[in-house]
Structure formats: structure tokens, C-alpha cells
Amino acid sequence: MNKYLVLIIMLFCCRFAAASNSMIIEHYSVENGVPHEIVNCTIKDSDGFVWFGTWYGLCSFDGQKFKTYNSRNSYYTDIPPRKIQKIVEDKSGNLWVKTIDHKLYLFDKHKECFYSIFNELRKKYSVNSQIIKIQKTDDGELLLLTKNKDLLKASSDINGKINIILLHDSKNKASNTKLKNNLLCESKDYISWIGMDYKILTCPKGKLLKSQPSDFILRKIGTTLEKEFSCAYENKGVLWIGDKKGNIYLITLYNGRIIPIKILSGKGVIENIQVENRTKIYISVANKGVYLYDLTKKTLKLLFSPQIKAPVVKSFTDSYGKIWFILGKKGVAFYNPVNNQSKQYVLPEGLVNENIQEEDGKEHGMFFLTSSGD
């Protein structure tokens, strides 16, 4: 049985018994109704159903039986997708389904119909229709990144009506299919980020900033710095931008105020930024380590130097307040602000193919799932 399917069933169909520390695992296969043993992705939706993206199409599981949606004869709609790579639920409860060959569909759960996003894009924009990245925003809408690095924002209503807004137009230039530098993009209503690692971010402008010219922020920072931008982070109406020279820019989205932070200038590339309580800024600098900058006190402290030679590609806070850092494909680290302690964990060589995903198990610990299925 495919390793991914085993892990998925464990994640969604097992129950922890805290008193006995036992775990109940149920094994499902094609004999039980799963359309194919290759399962690339899964989600549990807002109604409590579990959805699987398989090689032979989409299927749902209600806790007792599987239902598959891969036959065109059953639906007056576009051809149901196969080789599903990712599933995302939007704020209206509809599912967005991306296939391995970069096709994107909306699945209306109420009508049980698929709709091709290609048709919607063709109606409004002359952009590439191949979607290489789909990402959910905090407000339940979706960011779509095309093969040519066009950036769009998408949503649907409870009736399945699709709305798509173009945030960044690559002009369909073939040279844009491979990014040579990170992009900070600006339009009248949004500031967006497209990373060379395909990280995407979009921030709506506030009322005062919208009244300014559409390139107000880029002109104020200086467009000559565009090739030097290295990371971006948004927190409660503030956009933080780091560059390759160790500078950080605090951009207030309401009015466009920009505050440069030069305390790490010349130290190296700013790899990652995370803000806690608006004033505690955790800053990862390439080959130097992770620093804590107190915005109120204007103090800087080195939390730990890297034992693992890998960039910080992601950070997050767990349910106990520890700050975690994903160290490339090689390991993870955490910092505990309560006792000022940190620790780094090295993963076995070659364990991670592409990335590491985390799941906060709270009292059971922090779980890390690698793309190789470990």
C-alpha cells in the first residue's frame, strides 16, 4: 500500500486514548472503496468529511464509506480531474482541486459538480492557465500562482460562483517561467510577494494607502532594491520585508508608512521573519543564526547559532508558545521564550525530498511529516 495512504489514514482515522496511550488504526484500501492506492493529498472539511486526492480522482469518506467523483456520466460538468495533487477548502465550503499537470478545478459540494478554472481565466484575463501553486489566505480566499508567475486571488460563493482577481501580470513573457529574483508586486489595492521558492503572499492596502499612486510603496522603498529582497512576512496589518544586505522594512498597510530597521545591516541575507505580540521580532540571518529584536526596547539578542548548515525556510509558534524553525531539508529547531532555551534536531541524511510539514499534537508532542513519507 502506498506510504502516503497509510499516513493519511493514521492522521485522520486514529484516535488517541490519553489514559492508556493507545492508538486505534484502521486500514482502508481499494477493496473498501478507495479509487486508487496512490493518495497524494487529503483534507478534513468544515462538515467533518475527509477528502482524498488520488491518482484516479477525488473521493470522500464519511467515517463509514467512500464515495468517488471521477465519472463524467454522473455530472453535467467539466471532465472530473484525475492525478490530484492538492485540495483546499475555501470560506464557502467549496473545494479547489489541483492536478499534477497544473490544472485547477472548483468542486461544488452541494451540486457535486466540477468547474474548470481555465474557463474562468479565459473569460477575464490573458494569463497562463497552468496553476503551479494554490494557497489559502487567512480570510478563506485563495492565492493562485501560474506557471508564468501571474498571481491571482480567487474565491467562490455558496452557489459555486467563481470570482478571480489579477494581482500581478507577468505579461506572459517566456522568461518569467523561472524567477531570477523574488518579486515585491504592487497594485492599487494590494501588495504581493512572489518568492523564488514559490512562496506567495498578498496584503490588502488600507484606506489611506489606496488613495496613493499604485506604485507608492515600491517608489518609496526604491525599485532598485527589487533584486535584493529576500523574504516577506505579514502580521496584523504590517508587512515586513527583508533584503540580502541585512535590512528590514516595516510597512504599515493602512497608510503606507515605512520604517527601515538597520540593526542587522551588513550581517547577511535575511532568510525569515516572524513577529510575536507586535514587538518581538525573530529574525533569521543566513549562516549567522536567529536573533530576537525587541522593537520597543530597541535591543537585539542572538538566540542561537546554526549547528545545521541549512536556511530557515519557515517558522511558527506552537500551542505552548515555543517558536519553531524549519531548517531547510535537514532539521528543525525551537526556542522557548519562557526559559530562554533552544534546541536543534538533525534529520537523517536524505530523508526529505522536498519539504517538511508540521502538526501540533499539543500534549502528544510536535509531529513532522517529510515529503518522503516519514
Degrees to nearest 5, angle at CA 186 with 235 and 313: 45
One-letter amino acid identity for 167?
A: L
Grid cell digits, residue 121: 481565466
**Would you list the domain boundaries of the chain?**
307-374
186 contact partners, CB below 8 Å, separation of at least 6: 192, 214, 215, 216, 217, 218
Query: Distance of CA 327 to CAs 167, 242, 344, 371, Å?
Result: 30, 18, 9, 14
Q: From CA 138, how far away is CA 141, in angstroms rounded? A: 7
- Show pLDDT as tens, one digit a residue, over the chain (374 residues): 344 444 444 444 444 434 445 667 777 777 777 777 888 888 999 999 999 999 989 999 988 888 988 876 555 456 788 999 999 999 999 999 999 999 999 999 888 889 999 888 888 888 888 999 999 998 899 999 999 899 999 999 988 899 999 999 988 554 455 778 899 999 999 999 999 888 999 999 999 999 999 999 999 987 554 458 999 999 999 999 999 999 999 999 999 999 999 999 999 999 999 999 889 999 999 999 999 999 999 999 999 998 888 899 999 999 999 999 999 888 899 999 999 999 999 888 777 767 788 889 888 888 888 766 67
The pTM is what? Answer: 0.83
